[in-house]
Structure 1
Amino acid sequence: MEENHNQRIPATTMSDEIFALFSEFIEAEIGIKMPPAKKTMLQARLQKRLWKVELSSFDDYYQYVFSPEGREYELPNMIDVVTTNKTDFFREPKHFEILTQRIIPELLAREDAERQMMIWCAGCSTGEEPYSLAMVLHDFAEQVRKFEFLILATDISNKVLEKARLGIYDEEMSAPIPASFRKKYLLRSKDDNKKLVRVVPEIRSLVKFRKLNLIRPDFGFRENMDIIFCRNVIIYFNRSIQEQVIGRICYYLNPGGYLFTGHSETLNGMRLPIKTVAHTVYQKEMDVPLSEQLPIITLKPAEMFVSERPTIVRTVLGSCVAVTMFDPQHGVAAICHALLPESDNLSKHEEEKPNSYKYVDSVIPLMLKKLRNYGVNPQDLEVKLFGGADMLGARTGKIGFQPVGKLNIDAVIQTIQSQNLRLKVSDVGGISGRKILFYTHTGEVLLKRITLRTAYNSPAIE
């Protein structure tokens, strides 16, 4: 649909209530801080989407975005306009000097230097940073020592990834690129009126672009990285999310590998297995105990996590329940934080939709489906169940005003039995909340009971 500027539908001002809903979702889903001071900015960015989908109020737009149709067609567009995509070629050039003069020679001097070097550019935006890296490394390989490398570039925005893959830019944007590199690695448009340049195919072939959300628990990488650039990305996250993201990034960094961050970002005070080697340049320590390397993620209500990567998953339970699954043969684990079924009809749940993770009758089959993709036999799983406390005497009128926790316990046990799973351990009921730590590489669960007062004040409790 083409946008008709003369027939735009005027939108009302975004209410504080709708802003709060958008803000909560954006921080939870993308990690970007959205305090009240950013309401005007958010309203201006979303206004364009209202015009595009021909809606006249932000209330209607919110309802549409989170409808089944909106989640599929509009939510990606909303994420695109919300994310910030400021980048340049050869930004923070000192990093490239350190890379070629110190880090690459050191990595090549190691015993396993014959293999392909893996570099990850996180938050790559429209591609200027990974292409800058590719130019530098390609030139180094030609001038100093030939070696093979591959750059993985990721971003959450489909729109910027499409532009990055094309590698076409306004000619004026290429000004920061060294003149010798412009001549060697850029093609000028045959149409002089367009003033466009394009990165040469040889350099484009060295960069693989992929969509990735940095605040997701598992990045899905099959191998670790030697060098990671994550520059001017975490500044948009709150401190807690920053530490979780960098912790997971460090986990995917090889021992002795290097992490580059932005000059305006600080990792001071974070518990990370890295040491500073230059300003905003860090090296992962060579001999770090696995327990100190493990990324720690927090599982919130209505979330699920499945991975073959060793991870510590923590969650806090009140009347809700957590189910853990572990296959010792394949080293794959899964955990969910859920509650009683939404309905008795599983088919009513939309498979793979986030809301389906909320209910035990749909999330447990989804966990099993994902585990089967790793070759897991459900009969080999160690299944454990926790939670279901009678918090604050909460009752539901659905089934004779029974305690909510008991209903959750009964529902999950019924679902486990319907899937022919064997429950190995359970710690449920009572009046105390539970904080659990799940170690996905061993299946071990550490449990700490929390008092009624502590549980009541905890924002993670249902």
Structure 2
Amino acid sequence: MRIVKIEEYQKGERVTISPGEYYVTAKPGVISTLLGSCIAVCLYDRGRRLIGMNHFMLSNPRYSRDLPLNTTDAGRYGIHAMDLLINAMMKKGTCRHELRAKVFGGATIINPDSPHDNFFCVGQVNCRFILQYLEKEAIPVDAMDLGGDFGRVIHFSNGDFAVHRRKVDSLRSDKLAKRDRYCWQTAIEQQQAALTEIDLW
């Protein structure tokens, strides 16, 4: 998997993923991404303190028109992105029945008033797909923020498994970038503080 950006902070890390990517870690840290009509699924196993996130663009190749499906862009499609994420988490020691989910994204950014049967309904299709997929796989959904007509920036913390979400507002991008940095740095600081309170035997 290709990682766009990893920022070290204290003894933790903040990983930023882009469309088609996923990341899994048991280390203290935060996984972040920016969403429009795409979906990000945050999976976690509380007992193993394991988190993972993916970011997929389309529910399946039907909505990709003429784009080819190959191993390099499999993560773009929900059905493959979920398999990649779950398998990566299982390689780290989890079992499917231990996984829980939080899901975000699926906005209708372009032509929100257009008919639901055209290509611009991809956000709605993505929302429907991920809820049906998680139900079929018996993965409980603990939180979700889907649909709407706005983008989202999300930060998924391995400390308390919280997801911090904000709406995208390009008019205040500088101020919000500072708030984002404060958000993920605070999450890592809290994780580090919690680790120092635990006696390992």
Taking structure 1 as the reference length, what is the TM-score of the superposition?
0.33
What CA distance in whole angstroms lies between the structure 2 residues aligned with 1:299 and 1:417?
25
Matched, 1:415 2:133: yes
How much is the aligned-residue C-alpha RMSD, in angstroms?
2.8
What CA distance in whole angstroms lies between the structure 2 residues aligned with 1:318 and 1:338?
11
What CA distance in whole angstroms lies between the structure 1 residues aligned with 2:151 and 2:90?
32
What CA distance in whole angstroms lies between the structure 1 residues aligned with 2:161 and 2:51?
7
- Greater percentage in helix: 1
Q: Which residue number corresponds to residue 367 of structure 1?
A: 85
What CA distance in whole angstroms lies between the structure 2 residues aligned with 1:379 and 1:373?
14
Q: 1:395 to 1:294 in 2, by over 3 A?
A: farther
Runs of 4+ off more than 2 Å: 394-397, 417-420, 451-455
Q: Which residue number corresponds to residue 317 of structure 1?
A: 35
Shift in Å, 1:422: 1.6
The one of 108, 115, 122 equivalent to 1:390 is 108
The one of 133, 144, 150 equivalent to 1:426 is 144
Aligned pairs for 1:62-141 (under 5 A) are: none
Structure 1, residues 162-205: CA drift from partner, whole Å, max 9, x if none?
xxxxxxxxxxxxxxxxxxxxxxxxxxxxxxxxxxxxxxxxxxxx
Aligned pairs for 1:426-445 (under 5 A) are: 426-445=144-163
Q: 1:396 to 1:361 in 2, by over 3 A?
A: farther
The one of 57, 60, 72 equivalent to 1:341 is 60
Size of the alignment, in residue pairs?
166
Matched, 1:400 2:78: no
Q: 1:377 to 1:447 in 2, by over 3 A?
A: same
What CA distance in whole angstroms lies between the structure 2 residues aligned with 1:409 and 1:299?
20
Task: State the identity as a percent.
Answer: 21
3-state SS in 2 of match to 1:412: helix
* Larger relative contact order, structure 1 or 2 (CA cutoff 8 Å, min sep 6): 2
What CA distance in whole angstroms lies between the structure 2 residues aligned with 1:299 and 1:396?
30
Q: Which residue number corresponds to residue 35 of structure 1?
A: none
Q: Which amino acid aligns with 2:11?
A: Q
Aligned 8 A contact 1:333 1:441 in 2: no
- Greater percentage in strand: 2
Structure 1, residues 296-346: CA drift from partner, whole Å, max 9, x if none?
1211111100111222111111111110001001111110011221159xx
Q: Which residue number corresponds to residue 264 of structure 1?
A: none
What CA distance in whole angstroms lies between the structure 1 residues aligned with 2:105 and 2:172?
15
What CA distance in whole angstroms lies between the structure 1 residues aligned with 2:113 and 2:126?
11
Q: 1:343 to 1:314 in 2, by over 3 A?
A: same
Shift in Å, 1:396: 8.9
Which moved further from structure 2: 435-444 or 321-330? Answer: 435-444
Shift in Å, 1:395: 8.5
3-state SS in 1 of match to 2:110: helix
What CA distance in whole angstroms lies between the structure 2 residues aligned with 1:443 and 1:307?
12
Aligned 8 A contact 2:38 2:126 in 1: yes
Structure 1, residues 77-108: CA drift from partner, whole Å, max 9, x if none?
xxxxxxxxxxxxxxxxxxxxxxxxxxxxxxxx
Taking structure 2 as the reference length, what is the TM-score of the superposition?
0.71
What CA distance in whole angstroms lies between the structure 2 residues aligned with 1:349 and 1:419?
24
Shift in Å, 1:405: 1.2
Q: Which residue number corresponds to residue 306 of structure 1?
A: 24
Q: 1:355 to 1:395 in 2, by over 3 A?
A: farther
Shift in Å, 1:403: 2.2
3-state SS in 2 of match to 1:431: coil
Residue ranges of structure 1 left out of the alignment (5+ in a row): 1-28, 30-215, 218-240, 249-271, 273-291, 456-462
Q: 1:366 to 1:349 in 2, by over 3 A?
A: farther
Q: Which residue number corresponds to residue 193 of structure 2?
A: none
Q: 1:407 to 1:298 in 2, by over 3 A?
A: same
Aligned 8 A contact 1:318 1:387 in 2: yes
Q: Which has the larger radius of gyration?
A: 1
Structure 1, residues 13-32: CA drift from partner, whole Å, max 9, x if none?
xxxxxxxxxxxxxxxx6xxx
Which moved further from structure 2: 368-377 or 424-433? Answer: 368-377
Aligned 8 A contact 1:349 1:362 in 2: no
Shift in Å, 1:453: 6.4
What CA distance in whole angstroms lies between the structure 2 residues aligned with 1:408 and 1:366?
17
Q: Which amino acid aligns with 1:310?
A: P
Q: Which residue number corresponds to residue 354 of structure 1?
A: 72
Shift in Å, 1:361: 0.6
What CA distance in whole angstroms lies between the structure 1 residues aligned with 2:136 and 2:69?
17
Shift in Å, 1:374: 2.4
Q: Which amino acid aligns with 1:439?
A: S
Q: Which residue number corresponds to residue 327 of structure 1?
A: 45
What CA distance in whole angstroms lies between the structure 2 residues aligned with 1:354 and 1:329?
32
What CA distance in whole angstroms lies between the structure 2 residues aligned with 1:318 and 1:450?
9
Structure 1, residues 408-440: CA drift from partner, whole Å, max 9, x if none?
111222222232222111101111211111113
3-state SS in 1 of match to 2:73: helix
